[in-house]
Amino acid sequence: MSNLDDDQRLMQPVKVPMRPLALRYGLMIGLALFVIGLLLQFSGVVDPVEQKGTSVNMLVGVAILLGGLYLAVREYKKESGNLITFGRALGFGTLTLVFICLVTFVTSWLNFTVIDPGMVDQIREMSDQRMREQGMDDDAIEQAKGMLNIFTSPIVMSIMGAIFFFFFGFICALITAAIHNNAKPAANI
């Protein structure tokens, strides 16, 4: 009976606090996304105003996010004695994602207000031009501009970006949790 108790004790994951590791990885991944995004934007590969390179930007972002979450959950699993449940892995991935989204929100707001403040005006001008090309009359354009000004304010765009990023990132957290979920600790080789 004592051998059975010992085996069950060995199969229990070590309770490691999530927040410090999630915060560290969230900051690293969020800053990596920001720096790579700026490099793509200022190199001309991505142009948010012209909506050029959005698929490249998305693919690079997903690769960084998925890879970063994979490494973060792997590190948490290692600190937990190489044993992690799906729920614990998903919880850690989601907490890391919350920190990533907070960094993304702040860095997006900085991008729109400090780094490239003219981008918002360029987006609004491009939208105005597109509405005119579609044949909208001046009254309809003015009405649309009111809503456009709300949705293209730096704070609203940053909030919407963080919310979109969270939902998309949650899918990545589900994938990494499924990958790292295990029923027994990895053998020491």
Q: Which of 141, 178, 153 is nearest to 66 (CA)?
A: 178
When pLDDT is averaged across residues 154-174 and rounded to a whole number, the result is 93
pLDDT at position 189, please? 46
Q: Which of 5, 187, 185 is nearest to 79 (CA)?
A: 185
- Label residue 1 by pLDDT band (50, 70, 90): very low
Q: Pick the most confident of 5-14, 18-27, 37-46, 113-122.
A: 18-27
When pLDDT is averaged across residues 58-73 and rounded to a whole number, the result is 94
When pLDDT is averaged across residues 140-156 and rounded to a whole number, the result is 86
Write down the residue that tokens 């991008």 correspond to. 111
Residue 164, pLDDT > 70, answer yes
Residue ranges per structural domain of the chain:
16-180
